[in-house]
Amino acid sequence: MSTESADELVGKVKSTPKFRGPVMFRRKRNPGVGTADKHLLDTRQDSEWVHTDPWRVLRIQAEFVEGFGALAEVPPAVTVFGSARTPTDHPEYAAGQAIGAALSEAGFAVITGGGPGAMEAANRGASQAGGYSIGLGIELPFEQGLNEWVDLGINFRYFFVRKTMFVKYSRAFVCLPGGFGTLDELFEALTLVQTRKITRFPIILFGTEYWSGLVTWLRESMATAGKISPDDLDLIQVTDSVEEVVRIIQGQSGDKGDIERLGTEDKW
């Protein structure tokens, strides 16, 4: 038999609630904290709070606000992806520069990841052609900031915020030869279109020799095994022609048939 008194048992069941903003705590869940105002105005505390998840949520929100605000009035744009390691004297750099210029001359703003290599090439081509050159950079421990050909640049902390900007403000994706980052953006776009989370838009792989192995694997391994539908392969177009890149985008951007078939997500 328990020797605890009735008052002691009641004390275990009942507890005076404490509040931290809208959050209530009782018993052992009580964090022993003061009010939000007290924490805001108390200069004696340490700074570890800036590394907590609630504070990160505010940073994430701020990044979305900054991105939406900066890009809201950007004209119709195309995002060009590609390797940061592409040398300036490589044919792929020249191709990126030509694509950036051609897109600008066709009336599109050019968005890239803002880095060197193929990204710099597309920004450079757009800028030299008098177009709108945009770079959406990312905080990394080992790579560079925005390249010098970016007219409007935003540096993001979080990949997923940056990815949202690429998708929301692009009429098409053009992928020059690249590595994991390029593949990441490519397959995310394919997944979003395939699952009808966004309106279908052109996804173009530039460089048939480089991309042929991937396309063959998608067709002969994934589609043959039934992991994707054969129709899913139609979401990708492959070319070596800068003129064809522009023609594909001009022919498909704003295609009402695709919008009606796939549905839209106008409000984020």
Model pLDDT for residues 200-246, shown as the tens digit of each residue: 999 999 999 999 999 999 999 999 999 999 999 999 999 999 999 99
pLDDT, position 262: 30
Give the pTM: 0.77
Instruction: Give the tens place of pLDDT for each residue, 32-54.
Output: 555 555 655 666 666 676 667 77
Fold entry, domain 59-253:
Rossmann fold (3.40.50)
pLDDT digits (tens, 9 = 90+) for 146-197: 999 999 999 998 999 999 999 999 999 999 999 999 999 999 999 999 999 9
Domain parsing of the chain, residue ranges: 59-253
Structure tokens at 40: 């805001």
- Residue 59: the pLDDT is 87
What pLDDT is recorded for position 140?
82
Whole-number pLDDT of residue 142 = 72
Cα–Cα distance for residue pair 212/210, rounded to 1 Å: 6
